[in-house]
Chain A
Amino acid sequence: MFRIDFNKLRFLVCDDNPHMRRILRTLLHSFGAREVYESEDGATALEMYSHYVPDIVITDWSMPIFDGLELAQMIRQPESKGNPYAPIIMLTGHSEKRRVTVARDAGVTEFLAKPISAKGLYQRILNVVANPRPFIKTKTYFGPDRRRNTSNTYIGPERRVGGEVEILQQPSLLDKARSTV
């Protein structure tokens, strides 16, 4: 069984709602985290991301002006001077299948639908720490490998040509979003 030394991790939390920031701070501190930086909008979060170089980003989606989706897209710039590989956990009240797909295609690593639970948050953090996914770079995408399982029955177009890649087997982001753990 593995545990995380949270006191060695640096978090960046981005949520425009002060109550949710307080809850997240409380949960992370009680997990053992000491370094939790907070932002109430995506633009400030991006500045803090460059300045503090967090290990893990936890962001809301819906925020004024510069939302969590745009924040993920800005972080996932392969040529940027900052670290484009940091795990991004999208914590959001959006609960539609379409949203999970959009978040995934923006480079989000994990998706956690509100209402938040201590167990759900811990499991997402444990997963990004213990099971980092390879990154894929194409003309239109840069982010964690979106393939989470193999299917013999897949009949859609092949979006990658030229080689087979080992699939890190995990439940799909949608299946995980449906679960509290």
Chain B
Amino acid sequence: MAKDKPGALEVKTFADHHVITQPNPLQSVLRHVAEKDLDDPVARAEKALASLSGEFKNWMGIEADRLSAAHAAILKNGFTKLAREELFRAAHDIKGDAATFGYPSAGTAAESLCRIIEHAPDLDEVPSELIAHHINAIQAIVRERTKLDTVSTASELSWRLRGVADEYLTRANRDRPEHLEAILAPSIAPGE
């Protein structure tokens, strides 16, 4: 850590709150450079990320298998609290990682699964096929990615699943306005 020593806090007190400021402790790490500075840290990082891309297929396979294992545990023991959390985390990780790994359609299907887990009033009442189709779709998208004709199929599959899931969730939450609002709200994720 090579920053300025923490500056004295300046506290302004008002009726029901305090405003606290201090000299920027990270000021010394800022460096002014000319506009034509050729060093581009973002380009450097993108290049480094691209150099990792050889690992992405394997990583995506691991993530998809983790999801399938979580689903298998539920088929065996039902929706226990732990099993539900593990299924959600596995799907949530794919939702967040899949586009980076080059599998955006898997991310779409995983997001749809997350929404089911988060917003279904009772997971035991959700048609088991609906969850199974999401798991199987993600596995298929990951395993069959190398086939040239699968990109559009994967996209269509994942968005159709999302449509079916949304239809179910909208119906199941018709008396739960908070969930309904969340289901119908647009995503803030970039690119959507």
**Footprint of B on A, CB under 8 Å?**
1-6, 8-10, 16-17, 19-20, 22-23, 26-27, 29-32, 35, 53-55, 62-64, 83, 85, 92-98, 100, 113-122, 128-130, 132, 134-139, 145, 160-163, 165, 174, 177-180
Contact = CB atoms under 8 A, between A and B. Distances in A.
Contacts of A10: 1
A120 to B, nearest CB: 7
B96 A115 contact: yes
A113 B30 contact: no
Given A9-B26, A31-B41, A115-B107, A95 B187 contact: yes
21 contacts: A1-B34, A3-B31, A3-B39, A20-B96, A54-B1, A55-B29, A62-B88, A63-B89, A64-B85, A83-B6, A93-B93, A95-B189, A96-B187, A114-B99, A114-B189, A118-B49, A121-B45, A136-B18, A160-B17, A165-B19, A174-B188
A118 B45 contact: yes
Contacts, number: 189
A53 B68 CA distance: 39
B32 A162 contact: no
Contacts of A165: 12, 14, 19
Nearest to A135: B20
Contact of A116 (B16, B18, B35, B100): B100
A41 B109 CA distance: 26
A138 B16 contact: yes
Contact of A160 (B1, B14, B48): B14
Contact of B63 (A4, A19, A97, A114): A19
B31 A4 contact: yes
B185 A64 contact: no
A23 B19 contact: no
Contacts of A138: 16-18
Contacts of B17: 136-138, 160-162
A9 B30 CA distance: 11
Nearest to B114: A93
B182 interface: yes
Given A1-B34, A8-B3, A114 B96 contact: yes
A174 to B, nearest CB: 7
Contacts of A136: 17-20
